[in-house]
Amino acid sequence: MGAIIDISRGVRAGVQSAEGAVRAALDRVHKANHSLNALLACDADRALERARALDAARVAGHDPGPLAGVPLALKDNICTPFGITTCGSRILGTFASQYAAHVVERLEFAGAVIIGKTNLDEFAMGSSTENSAFSPTRNPWDLARVAGGSSGGSCAAVAARLVPGALGSDTGGSIRQPASFCGVTGLKPTYGRVSRFGLVAFGSSLDQIGPIAEDAGDVALLLKVIAGHDARDSTSVDVPVPDYLAALDRPLAGLRVGVSEEYFGEGLDSEVRRAVEVAIAELERGGAVVVPVHLPHMKYAIACYYIVATAEASSNLARFDGVHYGHRTENPRDFMDVYAASRGEAFGPEVKRRIMLGTYVLSSGYYDAYYLKALKVRTLIRRDFERAFEQVDVIASPVAPSPAFLVGEKAVDPLAMYLSDVYSVSANLAGIPAVSLPCGFTAAGLPIGMQLMGRMMDEGTLLAAAHQYQLRTDHHRQRPPAFAEL
């Protein structure tokens, strides 16, 4: 098992202190974050105070919880009642939330210690974390390359072992793609499995909070803590949360693994293709049965996604108006200038681009031609997966068409950047769970990820398959050479 389970067991057994675990994480952040820019903020005093309280509770005979003393980081679009929640944007550069997100409540009740907030593409809109108003996050495996996005800060922090685990959000691949680029394990749960209360919305029908860690065991523990119904989120699903850790021992024998040719077509890097094919063969050697499946509408997924997501972004970001909270322009000429200038000054170019695109597809005369048609295509994509899962238990594919690219390489070409999500957006459109797990490296030493997708609410099967694969391989145990001594 990974570092999260090791720390929690050690603290609960009294062989390790929560304060010691937190001090070690804070020391790693102090030594390495300046080169990565993975964390935007680190609240050492609060973290140490909480760790001491957990140690005192254990000494007094109280159970400190399943995540006792585990230092974690949160993507900075998840609201905390302490510190600042910026969403990587200047428009929220000084915003202090008055309440905690549901997942924050769950983590702290379970004994976790939140040490800081991680960098992200502004309002989670991007695939490289280059759209952050506070400079990009660097990839621990090669500082000249991106960490992926939009949860690049969370994935880079886990990959460099600054923290053993983190939370991100995934609207079109924003956990899985950076997990692939950084060589860590990241899960997008089923839509509705984890409450979105306290997550600053990007695409409300697509967003989902999920865990990032070294291996599937740690991800399973984090998911068990944060999953479950929350009445404050109308999309939260009221179904029992299984014991994901107990399900990890499910063998590969008899597992039906679907492989779709739509995920292995033009544009896929040859090294990525080879690594994923070898990983699928490893699943087969473990007893899984590989079954061809067909997802005929996958080719429309990226276009469908960038209509639905931008339309929802246009609506959700209307609240940042220079009046209620956040940045407000100085000396506005009139009321309209308050709105226009505040947004113009504080939103970055990618956020502006998506707001304009989303407003366009929702406008009179274009709603039927674009947005309504995209919703119909989304239904067809979901039905493709439903039919495929009548034949298989999971579907295996690449996470992204390439390994991590250079900082600045795609920044001037939005379409090339959007295609980084070509294999990941369909899971969000369909609402199904998907996990990224390390499956190899390029000749240059860059991580490659394999994606496993499953039926709605069947994260247990995905995590069991990922765990069994990781028992047979050691890709997830590798550490970036520059950070190996932390």
Is the confidence at residue 132, as pLDDT, over 80?
yes
CATH class name, domain 3-295+381-483: alpha beta
Report the catalytic residues: 75, 150, 174
CA distance 400 to 449: 8
- pLDDT of 412 reads 87
**So what's the pLDDT on residue 373?**
97
At 144-195, the pLDDT tens digits run 999 999 999 999 999 999 999 999 999 999 999 999 999 999 999 999 999 9
Confidence band of 370 (pLDDT split at 50, 70, 90) = very high
Confidence of residue 485 (pLDDT cuts 50, 70, 90): confident
**Amino acid 228: pLDDT:** 98
Per-residue pLDDT reduced to its tens digit, 381-401: 999 999 999 999 999 999 999
In tens, the pLDDT along 300-335 reads: 999 999 999 999 999 999 999 999 889 999 989 998
Q: SS3 for 188?
A: strand
Show the tokens assigned to 394.
């999971």
DSSP 391: T
Chain-centroid distance of CA 474 in Å reads 22
Among 102, 73, 124, 109, smallest CA distance to 198 is for 102
pLDDT for 14? 96
Percent of the chain with pLDDT over 90: 97
**HSE of 411, CA atoms in CB hemisphere, 13 A:** 15
Token digits for 261?
Answer: 């040719």
Residue whose C-alpha is closest to residue 352's, from 133, 49, 86: 133
pLDDT at residue number 335 = 87
State the pTM of this model.
0.98
The mean pLDDT of 31-59, rounded to a whole number, is 98
Element (H, E) at 314: helix 301-316
DSSP output for 332-388: -SSHHHHHHHHHHHHS-HHHHHHHHHHHHHHSTTTIIIIIIHHHHHHHHHHHHHHHH
Q: What is the DSSP letter of 78?
A: B
* pLDDT (0 to 100) of residue 325: 85
75-94 per-position pLDDT tens digit:
999 999 999 999 999 999 99
pLDDT of 1 > 80? The answer is no
Return the domain boundaries, the chain: 3-295+381-483
Average pLDDT, the chain: 97
